Amino acid sequence: MKRKRRTFSREYKISILREIESGIKQAEVCRKYDIHPVMVNQWRKTYDKYPDTAFSGKGNLYKEDAKIAELERLVGKLYAENAFLKKALSILEKRAIEEK
């Protein structure tokens, strides 16, 4: 039977992180709340990186990260297009030389 995806509020996530920071072992807290330790580690990284805006959305990337990811995709696309055009140009130049 599939387990239904759970959603946690911002306050709930922060309370769990504070509980771990207070000295209780992460494994104990994870067992107590039935949460996988990897998820808690992801929450901690997100909270450390964006303490004010962490957990404000529905799992979407933050605007800066989304913009960076979009620009990286664009750079990759342009790089591939540039390589293709260089190859096509070299082939056309060879044909032009051979026809002379």
Residue percentage of the chain with pLDDT more than 70: 93
Extract the runs of DSSP E, i.e. beta strands, from the chain. none
> What is the model's pLDDT at position 66?
78
* Lowest-confidence segment of 8-17, 21-30, 59-68, 85-94 by average pLDDT: 59-68
- How do the residues of the chain divide into helix, strand and coil, expressed in percent and rounded to 5? 70, 0, 30
pLDDT band at 49 (very low <50, low <70, confident <90, very high): confident
Question: Mean pLDDT across the stretch 7-24?
Answer: 92
Task: Tell me the C-alpha distance between 89 and 82, whole Å.
Answer: 10
Residue 61 near residue 69, CB atoms below 8 Å: yes
